Amino acid sequence: MRVAVIGATGNVGTALLRRLHQAPGVESVLGIARHLPDPDAEPYAYVRWHSVDIGAPGAAPRLAAVLDGADVVVNLAWAIQPNHDEPTMFATNVTGLENVLLAAASAKARHVVYASSVGAYSPGAKIRRSDEAWPTGGIHTSHYSRHKAANERLLDAFEAQHPEVVVSRLRPSLIFQRDAGSEVGRLFLGPLVPKYLGYKITTPLLPLPRELTFQAVHADDVADAYWRVIAERAPGAFNVAAEPVITPELLGWILGTRRIITLPLVVLRALAAVTWWLRLQRSDPGWVDMAAQSPVMNTDRIRALGWDPKISSVDAMVAAIQGMGYGDGVAGSPKLQPRRTRAGK
Protein backbone atom coordinates (compact mmCIF):
# COMPACT_ATOMS: atom_id res chain seq x y z
CA MET A 1 0.00 0.00 0.00
CA ARG A 2 1.34 3.42 -1.00
CA VAL A 3 0.04 6.22 1.22
CA ALA A 4 0.30 9.94 0.47
CA VAL A 5 -0.14 12.34 3.40
CA ILE A 6 -0.82 15.99 2.58
CA GLY A 7 -0.07 18.31 5.48
CA ALA A 8 2.30 15.74 6.91
CA THR A 9 4.39 18.04 9.14
CA GLY A 10 1.67 19.29 11.49
CA ASN A 11 0.10 18.01 14.70
CA VAL A 12 -1.86 15.08 13.23
CA GLY A 13 0.43 14.58 10.24
CA THR A 14 3.45 13.99 12.45
CA ALA A 15 1.50 11.51 14.58
CA LEU A 16 0.19 9.73 11.49
CA LEU A 17 3.71 9.30 10.12
CA ARG A 18 4.70 7.67 13.41
CA ARG A 19 1.74 5.30 13.06
CA LEU A 20 2.37 4.49 9.40
CA HIS A 21 6.00 3.61 10.11
CA GLN A 22 4.69 0.87 12.43
CA ALA A 23 1.86 -0.33 10.18
CA PRO A 24 2.01 -3.62 8.29
CA GLY A 25 1.50 -3.56 4.55
CA VAL A 26 2.63 0.04 3.99
CA GLU A 27 5.04 -0.11 1.07
CA SER A 28 5.90 3.59 0.97
CA VAL A 29 4.84 6.93 2.44
CA LEU A 30 4.75 10.15 0.44
CA GLY A 31 4.79 13.39 2.44
CA ILE A 32 3.46 16.62 0.96
CA ALA A 33 3.74 20.00 2.67
CA ARG A 34 4.26 23.62 1.76
CA HIS A 35 7.42 23.78 3.89
CA LEU A 36 9.43 20.57 4.11
CA PRO A 37 10.84 19.10 7.34
CA ASP A 38 14.33 17.89 8.11
CA PRO A 39 14.32 14.58 6.17
CA ASP A 40 16.76 13.03 8.63
CA ALA A 41 14.65 13.73 11.72
CA GLU A 42 12.09 11.30 13.12
CA PRO A 43 9.37 10.64 12.08
CA TYR A 44 10.08 12.44 8.79
CA ALA A 45 12.82 10.04 7.74
CA TYR A 46 11.95 7.21 5.32
CA VAL A 47 9.36 9.47 3.64
CA ARG A 48 9.51 10.77 0.07
CA TRP A 49 8.92 14.52 0.30
CA HIS A 50 7.43 17.04 -2.12
CA SER A 51 6.71 20.71 -1.56
CA VAL A 52 3.29 21.74 -2.92
CA ASP A 53 1.04 24.64 -1.94
CA ILE A 54 -2.33 22.96 -2.51
CA GLY A 55 -4.22 26.26 -2.55
CA ALA A 56 -2.08 27.92 -5.21
CA PRO A 57 -3.28 28.46 -8.80
CA GLY A 58 -2.38 25.47 -10.95
CA ALA A 59 -1.81 23.23 -7.93
CA ALA A 60 -4.11 20.41 -9.14
CA PRO A 61 -2.05 19.18 -12.12
CA ARG A 62 1.20 19.50 -10.21
CA LEU A 63 -0.27 17.58 -7.31
CA ALA A 64 -1.65 14.92 -9.66
CA ALA A 65 1.88 14.26 -10.94
CA VAL A 66 3.16 13.94 -7.37
CA LEU A 67 0.32 11.58 -6.38
CA ASP A 68 0.82 9.27 -9.36
CA GLY A 69 0.94 5.71 -8.03
CA ALA A 70 -0.56 6.49 -4.60
CA ASP A 71 -3.25 4.09 -3.41
CA VAL A 72 -4.46 6.26 -0.52
CA VAL A 73 -4.50 10.07 -0.32
CA VAL A 74 -4.90 11.57 3.15
CA ASN A 75 -5.55 15.32 3.25
CA LEU A 76 -4.67 16.88 6.62
CA ALA A 77 -3.66 20.32 5.28
CA TRP A 78 -5.35 23.20 7.07
CA ALA A 79 -4.74 26.88 7.80
CA ILE A 80 -5.88 28.38 11.12
CA GLN A 81 -3.90 31.58 10.65
CA PRO A 82 -3.92 34.35 9.55
CA ASN A 83 -7.50 34.51 10.81
CA HIS A 84 -7.77 38.23 10.15
CA ASP A 85 -7.44 37.27 6.47
CA GLU A 86 -10.10 34.68 5.67
CA PRO A 87 -9.49 34.56 1.87
CA THR A 88 -5.93 33.35 2.51
CA MET A 89 -7.18 30.59 4.80
CA PHE A 90 -9.96 29.70 2.35
CA ALA A 91 -7.37 29.14 -0.38
CA THR A 92 -5.68 26.39 1.64
CA ASN A 93 -8.72 24.98 3.38
CA VAL A 94 -11.40 24.84 0.68
CA THR A 95 -9.72 25.56 -2.67
CA GLY A 96 -6.94 23.28 -1.46
CA LEU A 97 -9.35 20.38 -0.99
CA GLU A 98 -10.84 21.00 -4.42
CA ASN A 99 -7.35 20.70 -5.90
CA VAL A 100 -6.60 17.56 -3.87
CA LEU A 101 -9.80 15.85 -5.08
CA LEU A 102 -9.09 16.78 -8.71
CA ALA A 103 -5.53 15.48 -8.36
CA ALA A 104 -6.58 12.26 -6.61
CA ALA A 105 -9.08 11.48 -9.37
CA SER A 106 -6.51 12.23 -12.07
CA ALA A 107 -3.91 10.04 -10.34
CA LYS A 108 -6.51 7.24 -9.99
CA ALA A 109 -6.15 6.94 -6.22
CA ARG A 110 -8.42 4.26 -4.78
CA HIS A 111 -9.08 5.86 -1.39
CA VAL A 112 -9.37 9.50 -0.26
CA VAL A 113 -9.31 10.23 3.48
CA TYR A 114 -10.14 13.73 4.66
CA ALA A 115 -9.59 15.47 8.01
CA SER A 116 -13.01 16.90 8.74
CA SER A 117 -13.92 17.90 12.30
CA VAL A 118 -16.56 18.18 14.98
CA GLY A 119 -16.56 21.78 13.77
CA ALA A 120 -18.33 20.70 10.57
CA TYR A 121 -21.49 19.92 12.52
CA SER A 122 -24.45 22.22 12.95
CA PRO A 123 -25.15 23.35 16.54
CA GLY A 124 -26.16 20.47 18.78
CA ALA A 125 -27.09 19.69 22.35
CA LYS A 126 -24.51 18.86 25.00
CA ILE A 127 -26.82 16.59 27.00
CA ARG A 128 -26.93 13.75 24.47
CA ARG A 129 -24.50 12.24 21.97
CA SER A 130 -24.81 12.92 18.24
CA ASP A 131 -23.72 10.35 15.66
CA GLU A 132 -22.38 10.90 12.14
CA ALA A 133 -25.88 11.55 10.74
CA TRP A 134 -26.06 14.91 12.54
CA PRO A 135 -26.24 17.74 9.93
CA THR A 136 -22.93 19.21 8.79
CA GLY A 137 -24.11 22.76 8.23
CA GLY A 138 -21.41 24.27 10.42
CA ILE A 139 -21.56 27.19 12.85
CA HIS A 140 -21.77 30.29 10.71
CA THR A 141 -19.93 32.66 13.05
CA SER A 142 -16.78 30.49 12.90
CA HIS A 143 -14.52 30.59 9.83
CA TYR A 144 -13.12 27.19 10.82
CA SER A 145 -16.59 25.68 10.97
CA ARG A 146 -17.75 27.33 7.72
CA HIS A 147 -14.75 25.94 5.86
CA LYS A 148 -15.18 22.43 7.28
CA ALA A 149 -18.89 22.45 6.34
CA ALA A 150 -18.08 23.65 2.81
CA ASN A 151 -15.63 20.78 2.45
CA GLU A 152 -18.27 18.26 3.47
CA ARG A 153 -20.26 19.42 0.43
CA LEU A 154 -17.18 19.04 -1.79
CA LEU A 155 -16.75 15.48 -0.57
CA ASP A 156 -20.45 14.74 -1.21
CA ALA A 157 -20.08 15.91 -4.81
CA PHE A 158 -16.84 13.97 -5.30
CA GLU A 159 -18.44 10.76 -4.03
CA ALA A 160 -21.31 11.18 -6.48
CA GLN A 161 -18.95 11.82 -9.40
CA HIS A 162 -16.40 9.11 -8.52
CA PRO A 163 -18.20 6.07 -7.05
CA GLU A 164 -15.09 3.99 -7.77
CA VAL A 165 -13.13 5.91 -5.09
CA VAL A 166 -13.64 5.13 -1.42
CA VAL A 167 -14.13 8.40 0.50
CA SER A 168 -13.63 8.56 4.27
CA ARG A 169 -13.97 11.59 6.50
CA LEU A 170 -12.80 11.66 10.09
CA ARG A 171 -14.46 14.16 12.43
CA PRO A 172 -12.25 14.40 15.51
CA SER A 173 -12.66 16.61 18.55
CA LEU A 174 -9.88 18.94 19.72
CA ILE A 175 -6.55 17.18 19.16
CA PHE A 176 -3.68 17.53 21.62
CA GLN A 177 -0.18 16.19 22.23
CA ARG A 178 2.82 17.51 24.10
CA ASP A 179 4.83 17.93 20.90
CA ALA A 180 2.21 20.41 19.65
CA GLY A 181 2.44 22.65 22.73
CA SER A 182 4.50 25.39 21.13
CA GLU A 183 2.40 25.34 17.95
CA VAL A 184 -0.84 25.65 19.94
CA GLY A 185 0.59 28.68 21.72
CA ARG A 186 1.64 30.34 18.47
CA LEU A 187 -1.66 29.64 16.69
CA PHE A 188 -4.13 30.53 19.41
CA LEU A 189 -2.39 32.80 21.92
CA GLY A 190 0.16 34.75 19.92
CA PRO A 191 3.38 36.45 21.04
CA LEU A 192 1.81 38.76 23.66
CA VAL A 193 0.36 36.04 25.92
CA PRO A 194 2.84 34.30 28.28
CA LYS A 195 2.80 30.57 27.47
CA TYR A 196 3.98 29.46 30.90
CA LEU A 197 0.82 30.60 32.71
CA GLY A 198 -1.15 27.44 32.06
CA TYR A 199 1.21 25.16 33.95
CA LYS A 200 2.87 27.40 36.54
CA ILE A 201 0.02 29.50 37.90
CA THR A 202 -3.20 28.24 39.46
CA THR A 203 -6.16 30.41 40.37
CA PRO A 204 -8.67 29.92 43.18
CA LEU A 205 -11.53 31.21 41.03
CA LEU A 206 -12.13 30.66 37.30
CA PRO A 207 -15.05 32.28 35.45
CA LEU A 208 -16.36 29.99 32.68
CA PRO A 209 -19.66 29.67 30.80
CA ARG A 210 -21.76 26.56 31.41
CA GLU A 211 -21.87 26.02 27.65
CA LEU A 212 -18.09 25.43 27.48
CA THR A 213 -18.39 21.65 27.21
CA PHE A 214 -16.32 19.84 24.59
CA GLN A 215 -14.37 16.70 23.72
CA ALA A 216 -10.65 16.08 23.23
CA VAL A 217 -8.35 13.34 21.99
CA HIS A 218 -4.61 12.69 21.78
CA ALA A 219 -2.93 13.00 18.38
CA ASP A 220 -1.53 9.45 18.58
CA ASP A 221 -5.03 8.05 19.10
CA VAL A 222 -6.32 10.09 16.14
CA ALA A 223 -3.47 8.71 14.05
CA ASP A 224 -4.52 5.19 15.01
CA ALA A 225 -8.09 6.00 13.92
CA TYR A 226 -6.79 7.15 10.55
CA TRP A 227 -4.78 3.95 10.16
CA ARG A 228 -7.77 1.75 10.96
CA VAL A 229 -9.90 3.53 8.37
CA ILE A 230 -7.08 3.20 5.83
CA ALA A 231 -6.40 -0.47 6.59
CA GLU A 232 -10.09 -1.39 6.36
CA ARG A 233 -10.73 0.96 3.46
CA ALA A 234 -13.79 2.01 5.44
CA PRO A 235 -16.07 4.55 3.74
CA GLY A 236 -18.13 7.29 5.29
CA ALA A 237 -17.78 9.52 8.33
CA PHE A 238 -16.22 8.68 11.71
CA ASN A 239 -16.45 10.68 14.91
CA VAL A 240 -13.24 10.48 16.96
CA ALA A 241 -13.02 11.57 20.60
CA ALA A 242 -11.68 10.20 23.89
CA GLU A 243 -13.36 10.15 27.27
CA PRO A 244 -14.35 11.90 29.44
CA VAL A 245 -16.21 14.89 28.02
CA ILE A 246 -14.52 18.09 29.23
CA THR A 247 -16.94 20.15 31.32
CA PRO A 248 -16.23 23.54 32.93
CA GLU A 249 -15.74 21.78 36.27
CA LEU A 250 -13.27 19.29 34.79
CA LEU A 251 -11.44 22.04 32.93
CA GLY A 252 -11.13 23.92 36.19
CA TRP A 253 -9.65 20.83 37.83
CA ILE A 254 -7.14 20.46 34.99
CA LEU A 255 -6.08 24.09 35.48
CA GLY A 256 -5.83 23.75 39.24
CA THR A 257 -8.85 25.92 40.01
CA ARG A 258 -10.64 25.60 43.33
CA ARG A 259 -13.97 27.06 42.25
CA ILE A 260 -15.75 27.74 38.95
CA ILE A 261 -17.78 30.94 38.69
CA THR A 262 -20.51 30.88 36.04
CA LEU A 263 -19.74 33.51 33.41
CA PRO A 264 -22.35 34.46 30.80
CA LEU A 265 -21.26 33.21 27.39
CA VAL A 266 -21.83 36.64 25.86
CA VAL A 267 -19.20 38.13 28.20
CA LEU A 268 -16.54 35.59 27.22
CA ARG A 269 -17.37 36.07 23.55
CA ALA A 270 -17.12 39.86 23.85
CA LEU A 271 -13.77 39.57 25.62
CA ALA A 272 -12.46 37.26 22.90
CA ALA A 273 -13.74 39.60 20.18
CA VAL A 274 -12.15 42.74 21.64
CA THR A 275 -8.78 41.17 22.39
CA TRP A 276 -8.70 39.50 18.98
CA TRP A 277 -9.65 42.73 17.17
CA LEU A 278 -6.87 44.53 19.08
CA ARG A 279 -4.50 41.67 18.16
CA LEU A 280 -3.74 40.98 21.81
CA GLN A 281 -4.39 37.29 21.21
CA ARG A 282 -5.01 35.16 18.10
CA SER A 283 -8.29 33.33 18.81
CA ASP A 284 -11.29 35.00 17.15
CA PRO A 285 -14.72 34.75 18.84
CA GLY A 286 -15.78 32.02 16.44
CA TRP A 287 -13.75 29.57 18.54
CA VAL A 288 -15.91 30.42 21.56
CA ASP A 289 -19.05 29.86 19.46
CA MET A 290 -17.78 26.51 18.23
CA ALA A 291 -16.85 25.30 21.71
CA ALA A 292 -20.28 26.34 23.03
CA GLN A 293 -22.42 25.07 20.15
CA SER A 294 -20.74 21.97 18.71
CA PRO A 295 -22.46 18.70 19.65
CA VAL A 296 -21.02 16.04 21.91
CA MET A 297 -20.21 13.15 19.58
CA ASN A 298 -21.01 9.46 19.68
CA THR A 299 -17.90 7.45 18.68
CA ASP A 300 -19.42 3.98 18.25
CA ARG A 301 -18.67 3.83 14.52
CA ILE A 302 -14.88 4.23 14.79
CA ARG A 303 -14.83 1.92 17.82
CA ALA A 304 -16.48 -0.76 15.65
CA LEU A 305 -13.18 -0.82 13.69
CA GLY A 306 -11.36 -1.78 16.89
CA TRP A 307 -10.32 1.75 17.81
CA ASP A 308 -9.81 2.24 21.54
CA PRO A 309 -8.00 5.40 22.67
CA LYS A 310 -5.02 4.75 24.90
CA ILE A 311 -4.89 8.27 26.37
CA SER A 312 -7.78 10.02 28.12
CA SER A 313 -9.00 13.43 27.06
CA VAL A 314 -7.76 14.84 30.36
CA ASP A 315 -4.25 13.46 29.92
CA ALA A 316 -4.17 14.73 26.32
CA MET A 317 -5.03 18.26 27.49
CA VAL A 318 -2.53 18.13 30.34
CA ALA A 319 0.19 17.02 27.91
CA ALA A 320 -0.52 19.96 25.60
CA ILE A 321 -0.55 22.45 28.49
CA GLN A 322 2.78 21.12 29.72
CA GLY A 323 4.17 21.22 26.20
CA MET A 324 3.05 24.81 25.82
CA GLY A 325 4.61 25.81 29.10
CA TYR A 326 7.94 24.12 28.47
CA GLY A 327 8.09 25.12 24.80
CA ASP A 328 8.05 21.55 23.51
CA GLY A 329 7.81 20.58 19.87
CA VAL A 330 9.48 18.56 17.12
CA ALA A 331 12.76 20.11 15.97
CA GLY A 332 12.55 18.68 12.46
CA SER A 333 9.11 20.13 11.70
CA PRO A 334 8.58 23.68 10.40
CA LYS A 335 5.14 23.66 12.07
CA LEU A 336 5.92 22.02 15.40
CA GLN A 337 9.20 23.87 15.98
CA PRO A 338 9.90 24.05 19.73
CA ARG A 339 9.62 27.53 21.20
CA ARG A 340 12.84 27.17 23.19
CA THR A 341 14.74 26.47 19.94
CA ARG A 342 13.36 29.64 18.34
CA ALA A 343 14.23 31.64 21.43
CA GLY A 344 17.72 30.20 21.49
CA LYS A 345 17.15 28.52 24.85
Where in the chain are the domains? 2-174+215-240, 176-214+245-295+311-342
Yes or no: say if 224 and 307 are a contact pair by the CB < 8 Å rule.
yes
pLDDT at 200: 53
The tens digit of pLDDT for each residue in 224-234 reads 999 999 999 99
DSSP state of 187: I
Query: At 65, phi and psi to the nearest 5?
Result: -65, -40
39 vs 42, 43, 48, CA distance in Å? 8, 9, 9
User: Considering the entire predicted model, what is its pTM?
Assistant: 0.94
Q: What is the pLDDT of residues 234-249, one digit of tens each?
A: 999 999 999 999 999 9
What is the topology classification, in CATH, of domain 2-174+215-240?
A: Rossmann fold (3.40.50)
CA angle 73, 78, 80 (to 5 degrees): 170
Grade residue 25 by pLDDT with cuts at 50, 70 and 90: very high
The string of DSSP codes covering 104-133 is HHHTT-SEEEEE--GGGSPP--SSSEE-TT
The DSSP H or E segment spanning 48 is strand 48-51
Q: Are strands 111-115 and 72-75 parallel, antiparallel or unpaired?
A: parallel
